[in-house]
Amino acid sequence: MKMSKIATFFYLFLLASIANAQSGVFDITKYGGHADADITQALTSAWKEACALTTPSKVVVPAGTYKLNVISFQGPCKGKIDFQLDGTVQAPADPAQVKTDGSWITFEHVDHLTILGKGVFDGQGATAWNQNNCGKNPDCEKTAMNLGFNFLTNSIIRDVTSKDSKNFHVNVLGGNNVTFDHFTVSAPETSLNTDGIHIGRSIGINVINTNIATGDDCISLGDGNKNITVTGVTCGPGHGISVGSLGRYNNEEPVEGIIVKNCTIKNTSNGVRIKTWPHYPVTGSATDMHFEDIIMDNVGNPVLIDQEYCPWNQCNRALSSKIKISKVSFKNIRGTSSTKQAVKLACSKGIPCEGVELADIDLTFSGGPATSACTNVKPIITGKQNPPACTAAPAPTS
């Protein structure tokens, strides 16, 4: 009798597997995954079967709250694949239990991936933030990022949310033609080192119609990026939208073709900025970068080129940055600054900026007239300039 029941169970399981394969839908509940339990193994099994399918497939995490440990979704897959997250997956709250120096969840070497749904990747990062001393200690122990997208091509991430990551929310490396659409990043201003979307060495990445609230850069663009477009993004709280930092590590690759347009930045410590380190003997370049049609609402340093970027005094500002910045425009940038110096272009004295344009800047400061400052650059100035362009000595970098 017992053998008969076992045989029946395996028969039904086989039928379910065949049905999944035929429909192309791989629901984790069919692999033993259920709410309030660890679904790492169920997700691994569902992904493996879906990835092997030559026709379009979909991995589904239905509504509910699930536990999830470190997991890596590896390609290449044989067909187009969707990852539909309708529930909330939670990382272990204790950083010591997330045993990786990379990402809690990684998607790697996948073509035509779509991540969609109304679900949440919850990194449960509060304990990690309280233990974080990376700002003062370069040799600190790194904690896990929420999502790593490595070498994805022709892919889209839409509607889902990254919440309370222990480290960066998203790290994009080696991507080509990847779009974030209506993506959400949610973390408090006090969450240290939690860049919203960091992009490195990628081509054709688009961030559109996205809301980012976090404790560090909303979007940070590292070396080797080409043709990056950021439009319709709401940023804040956080540290703004940044190119860089650049110039700290050997063998950095050039940055070329950045467009940041139609964005709103609110209650952040910076607005739009380019930042490079002095002191280090690293050479490089960043060119063809354009920031246009941007609303600033109570933003510190709304317009900033900072080639003296040196947080926590980890370098010598007396030495020059060796990153060449050229072909940069700041156009139609308006709103309110929380600092008196609303525009600061502090370029390298060793390699001055070239081809920088300021056009139609209108930024006010509640404490009195706003100011601007320029060093080692002669910008092209057109249209309205409030504050008047390049009229004050630059304030010391804090």
> Does residue 282 contact residue 313 with C-beta atoms inside 8 Å?
no
Q: Exposed/middle/buried for 366, CB within 10 Å: 0-12, 13-18, 19+?
A: exposed
112 catalytic, yes or no? no
3-state secondary structure of 50: helix
For residue 222, the one-letter residue type is G
CA neighbor of 306 nearest in space, from 257, 383, 239, 214: 239
Q: Which is nearest to 236 in space by CA: 189, 197, 191? A: 189
C-beta separation of 263 from 230 below 8 A: yes
Q: What's the rounded Cα separation, in Å, for the pair 3 and 9?
A: 10
Where is 120: in which H helix or E strand? strand 120-122
Catalytic one of 169, 239, 279, 290: 239
Q: Rounded to an integer, what distance in angstroms lies between the CA atom of residue 27 and that of residue 61?
A: 6
What is the DSSP track for 173-199?
A: ES-EEEEEES-EEE--TT-TT--SEEE
334: nearest Cα among 367, 290, 275, 293: 293
DSSP state at residue 252:
P
As given in the structure block, the two tokens for residue 204 are 């054709």
Taking alpha carbons only, the member of 60, 62, 67, 72 closest to residue 39 is 67
How far apart (Å, rounded) are the C-alpha atoms in residues 273 and 275?
A: 6
Residue 318 to residue 234: CA distance in whole angstroms: 36
Cα distances from 288 to residues 10, 154, 230, 321, 326, in angstroms, run: 61, 24, 14, 19, 7
Looking at the annotation, which residues are catalytic?
A: 239
